[in-house]
Amino acid sequence: NIKNIKDCYKNILTIYLHQDECASPSDYSLGNFTIKTNLIKDKNENNVSYYLKMDYIWIKEWIDECIKIYEEKSTKDQKFILDIQNIIFTLNQYKSILQWYMTDEYTQRDDVLEFIFQNNIKMQNLKNAMILYRYNKNKSELKNLNEENYKKAKDIIQHKWSNICEYIIEEFFDSFEHKEIKIGDITFIGNKIEENRVNHGVFIFYPID
């Protein structure tokens, strides 16, 4: 408990958030206050509050650590897998917002697609996405979602469905092996599907010339 008014600063923390890790508050922003190490002081050198400089890179690194922790949890504990996936998805959304301000680090991305096409849970995520998109009355198939989250998930999937389909098609064609086959004087080109696929073989042939 604070008993002396001079100790009130111990209950106050002023955070300065800036995209530049080397930036400091301007004199105009500080007014009659000054910053001494981790304290803000008034013109009489009385402590006003604690001071913490925070930048976007630090926050992003912290979010990355949180995502890493929850990804590890998702591999060890399947009981709350949907809750953990929602947390990871939300953290990635926050990270994307930060990256808009970190222009030297930003690359265009789609967190919905990244979330759905995670290697270890891609097939299950695609199955759930198709259930959400195809049927109007499918709540019974997604028992772990409450009504509010179900509606949100359905809206997201319906909005992103064309992007999901494009991603699936691109991934499918990326797995092809380019082939050239010569029949007489004519050279044909095509693509060979991986042999472990059900519909393996060579197709899409046409002459180069």
- In terms of Cα–Cα distance, which of 166, 182, 175 is closest to 198? 175
Q: In this predicted model, which residue has the larger pLDDT, 198 or 99?
A: 99
Q: In this predicted model, which residue has the larger pLDDT, 184 or 59?
A: 59
| Helix (H/G/I), strand (E/B), else coil: 181 | strand
- pLDDT score of 192 more than 50: yes
- In terms of Cα–Cα distance, which of 128, 86, 124, 110 is closest to 170? 110
Q: What is the pLDDT of residue 153?
A: 78
- pLDDT score of 209 more than 80: no
Q: In this predicted model, which residue has the larger pLDDT, 135 or 157?
A: 157
CA 36 to chain centre: 37
Predicted confidence (pLDDT) per residue in 24-41, tens digit: 888 878 888 999 989 999
Residue 107 to residues 96, 131, 164: CA-CA distances in angstroms?
9, 31, 19
Predicted confidence (pLDDT) per residue in 75-107, tens digit: 887 778 888 888 998 998 888 877 776 655 444
Q: What is the pLDDT of residue 50?
A: 95
Please, what is the average pLDDT of the chain? 77
Give dist(CA 202, CA 209) in Å, integer. 19
Predicted confidence (pLDDT) per residue in 126-150, tens digit: 887 887 777 655 556 666 667 777 7
Torsion of CA 161, 165, 170, 171, to 10 degrees: 100
- pLDDT score of 207 more than 60: no
Residue 170 to residues 112, 166, 173: CA-CA distances in angstroms?
16, 6, 5
Instruction: Evaluate whether 77 touches 42 at the Cβ level (below 8 Å).
Output: no
Tell whether pTM > 0.95. Answer: no
Instruction: Evaluate whether 110 touches 163 at the Cβ level (below 8 Å).
Output: yes
Portion of the chain with pLDDT greater than 90, in percent: 15
Q: What is the pLDDT of residue 208?
A: 45
What residue has token string 């998930």?
153
Q: Which of 11-20, 64-73, 161-170 has the lowest mean pLDDT?
A: 161-170
| Mean pLDDT to the nearest integer, 43-58 | 90
- pLDDT score of 11 more than 60: yes
Residue 149 to residues 95, 127, 138, 140: CA-CA distances in angstroms?
21, 17, 13, 14
